[in-house]
Amino acid sequence: MRFIPHTDEDVATMLEAIGAPSLEALFACVPEKLRLDRPLALPAAASEQEVLAELRALAERNAHAGSHAWFLGAGTYAHFVPSAIDALASRAEFATSYTPYQPEVSQGTLQAIFEWQSMMCALTGLEVSNASLYDGASATAEAALMAMRLTRRSKVVLSGGVHPHTREVLRTYLDGLGGEISTAPRGADGRTAGLVGCVDDATACVILQQPAFLGAIEDVAAAARAARAHGAVLVVTTSEALSLAFLRSPGALGADIACGEAQSFGVPMSFGGPHLGFLAARGAHVRQMPGRLVGQTVDARGRRGFVLTLSTREQHIRRERATSNICTNQGLCLLRATIYLALLGRRGLRELARLNHAKAEYAKSLVRRTPGLALPLAAPTFHEFVVGVPGPAEAALARALDAGLVAGLDLAPHAPELGPALLVCTTELARREDIDRLVRVLAGRSA
């Protein structure tokens, strides 16, 4: 066993020092009859060479953003990841360390988290950001719970534009605390309609996704007014953090909590996880925030340093009264995102967002001009939008696949009322010629 150093001699020496006759004896406290009297029924150990071969074979049976031209987004996005991120995030000092409980030997992780918090404040237009939550869906659920604590109310008004999975997770989380959810429907242009009607004085928060699941860019300011009118908290969530570099910040538009998924910032899609949930809020609400926070301080000799702080909110101190049960979070994904934002920087990130938008506008312009295809939703979009296709969406996807394209998400389960339609996303990875091919095959013409 190459992972375990013990030789038989070592074992003997140690048993002797302990005063135990045998390894078996170390488990004397486990009642005889409860011990497993057989080897576990698992495949026998394999060598590194064999395990890698087995995993390669499995991996090769998956399609991925490297094997096809990729237009599938819907909450998980194929963006380019600069090589420096893998090189740095794989450094053992980052990857094989624990949560930075001991600041003297964890300043690397702590300073990086502080930098992340700072940049997320800048992007969300809010004063406090935590050090990650599991993913965008649980971050949104945590935001709702936070709003319920802040308002001591239990009603949540949910935009129909929130990602369906996020809505499901929200239901799962709220169920235990008697939170009730009412959903504001989608208007004809794709934006959330009739929010105002749903909000009342029992409403803890309004949850709006920006951009909406089907791509529409929502009117955050209007939602803020609707929420504020009843003393409710406005939560703006996003499943595409890059949109923060494109749109005015949620904070600036009146959101009290901004949360969501930051996988787009240098985290591989990896079949949906590990990704990176984030949550930012107004300074006044910091003590109700879930998740870890890193703060600046000084050491015994007055030198600047960083520590985990305000932990009285957390489970290991506050236990059943904690703001959340989260312990292990998404540290290394946060580090990747911090490196990503440092590389892209103040100008690069905005330019990237604009490029993503321009690709989508180009694709939409082709769709508009292509008989058989349609853009059923009129609202402006960022880099993702709905395309109505001739005949069943499944058939369109299959045609695209034959042409080496993963064309998008079949909306039949999510928005049947739109007829056969796909949710299509264009990031910087989508080359013009791929977009051209996509439009041709969706329209039923040969690639």
CA angle 154, 263, 343 (to 5 degrees): 130
In this structure, is the dihedral angle defined by the CA atoms of residues 129, 131, 133 and 136, taken in order, positive or negative? positive
List the one residue from 207, 306, 383, 418 that touches other proteins (CB under 8 A).
Answer: 306
Q: Which is nearer to other proteins, 55 or 188 (CB)?
A: 55
Q: How far is the CB of 330 from ligand PLP (least distance, A)?
A: 11
429 lies in the site for its own copies, by CB under 8 A: yes
Q: Give yes or no for residue 427 binding other proteins (CB under 8 A).
A: no
CB 195 within 8 A of CB 207: no
Nearer to other proteins, 135 or 230 (CB): 135
**Of 47, 62, 96, 328, the one binding ligand PLP by CB under 6 A:** 328
Longest pairwise C-alpha distance within the chain: 84
- Which residue in the set 181, 193, 222, 322 belongs to the binding site for other proteins (CB under 8 A)? 322
Q: Does 327 bind ligand PLP (CB under 6 A)?
A: yes
Closest CA to 165 of 420, 414, 429, 437: 414
How far is it, in rounded angstroms, from Cα 9 to Cα 200? 73
Binding segment for its own copies (CB under 8 A), chosen from 45-53, 99-107, 250-258, 269-277, is: 45-53
Burial class (CB in 10 A: 0-12, 13-18, 19+), 154: middle
Q: 147: Cβ–Cβ under 8 A, 6 or more apart, which residues?
A: 153, 156, 204, 205, 232, 233, 235, 256, 257
Cβ-based nearer residue to its own copies, 12 or 52: 52
84 is an interface residue for other proteins by CB under 8 A: yes
* Of 83 and 446, CB closest to other proteins: 83
Q: Rounded CA gap, 148 and 25, in Å?
A: 53
CB of 49 to its own copies, least distance (A): 4
Among 193, 286, 412, 447, binds other proteins (CB under 8 A): 286
Residues binding other proteins: what is the number (CB under 8 A)?
211
Strands 405-406 and 155-159, bridge-based pairing: unpaired
151 binds other proteins (CB under 8 A): no
Is 376 an interacting residue with respect to other proteins (CB under 8 A)?
no
Q: By C-beta, is 270 or 325 nearer to ligand PLP?
A: 325
Q: How many CB atoms lie within 10 A of CB 15?
A: 15
- Between CA 242 and CA 25 the distance in angstroms is 57
User: For 15, phi and psi rounded to 5 degrees?
Assistant: -60, -40
| Partner in contact with 370, chosen from ligand PLP, other proteins, its own copies, none, beta carbon below 5 to 8 Å by kind | none
CB of 261 to its own copies, least distance (A): 22
Q: What is the rounded distance in angstroms from the CA atom of residue 177 to the CA atom of residue 141? A: 12
Residue of the chain from 189, 197, 316, 391 that contacts other proteins (CB under 8 A) = 316
Query: Of 171, 321, 152, nearest to 233 (Cα)?
Result: 152
66 is an interface residue for its own copies by CB under 8 A: yes
Task: Give the one residue of 219, 361, 428, 436 binding its own copies; rule: CB under 8 A.
Answer: 428
Give whichever of 90 and 172 is closer to its own copies, judged by the CB atom. Answer: 90
Q: How far apart are CA 330 and CA 272, in angstroms?
A: 13
Residue 37 interface partner, choices ligand PLP, other proteins, its own copies, none, CB cut-off 5-8 Å depending on type: none
Q: How many residues bind its own copies (CB under 8 A)?
A: 16
